[in-house]
Copies of this chain bind each other. A is one copy, B any other.
Amino acid sequence: MTTERRKSPDTTRRSEASRRAILTAAFELTGEVGYAKLSIEGIAARAGVGKQTIYRWWPSKGAVLFDAFLALTEGAEGAGEQEAALPDTGDLEADLKTVLRATVDELNDPRYDEPMRALNVEILQDPALAAAYAERLDGPMKELKKTRLRNAQQAGELPEGLDLDLAIEMVWGPLRTRWLERRGPLTHAYADRIVETALNGLRPRPA
């Protein structure tokens, strides 16, 4: 872990102003022209920066966009970073609906939609980026989800032997897929229906 950045340049001399300008430019341009037409040259021009400054610090345009997201989320978290957790009122179904409804609102925000989709697509093609995503962005969130589900297990709301990864996929997967593939509108009603169906299963339950 300590020697991982052998070839990277000296980070202490890095220009914070350039870094922020690049991330901002990348984020905005992705929203304006789409990820496919996003270019390093374009980012550099918009940011008023030499191309080499980008190549010096990032291996690909996907990595730049990734860092742009990272900066965004870190900026939003504020001071009390560690304390984030999913709501836990004791009612798993209600809590999941709350969370999914919030996700729906976020995904419907036009400012984030295009760059977020671009990042998700890029991850499919770049394993290194996927690893970074899994570790830095998706990982922490997934841990929160697991914690909430584990609590539900202890409360008896979920069975002991449940595959939590699969459970998460059942609850959050359909929403993400519908968003990523634009298969239909993202609504609170849809969020609710997912939660109910996932919890109860497809099979009829005895009354």
Contact = CB atoms under 8 A, between A and B. Distances in A.
Given A201-B205, A206-B206, 17 more contacts: A120-B124, A121-B121, A121-B124, A121-B125, A124-B181, A127-B182, A130-B181, A158-B202, A158-B204, A159-B204, A162-B202, A166-B174, A169-B174, A170-B198, A177-B177, A198-B201, A205-B205
User: How many copies of the shown chain assemble into the complex?
Assistant: 4
A157 interface: yes
Interface in A100-115: none
Contact of A203 (B35, B180, B201): B201
**Max count, chain B CB within 10 A of own CB: residue among A124, A176, A180:** A124
A123 interface: yes
A36 B162 CA distance: 38
Contacts of A186: none
Interface in A124-146: 124-125, 127, 130
A200 B197 contact: no
A167 interface: yes
Interface of A: 34-36, 117, 120-121, 123-125, 127, 130, 156-159, 162-163, 166-167, 169-171, 173-174, 176-178, 180-182, 193-194, 197-206
Contacts of A130: 181-182
Contacts of A156: 204
A205 B157 CA distance: 11
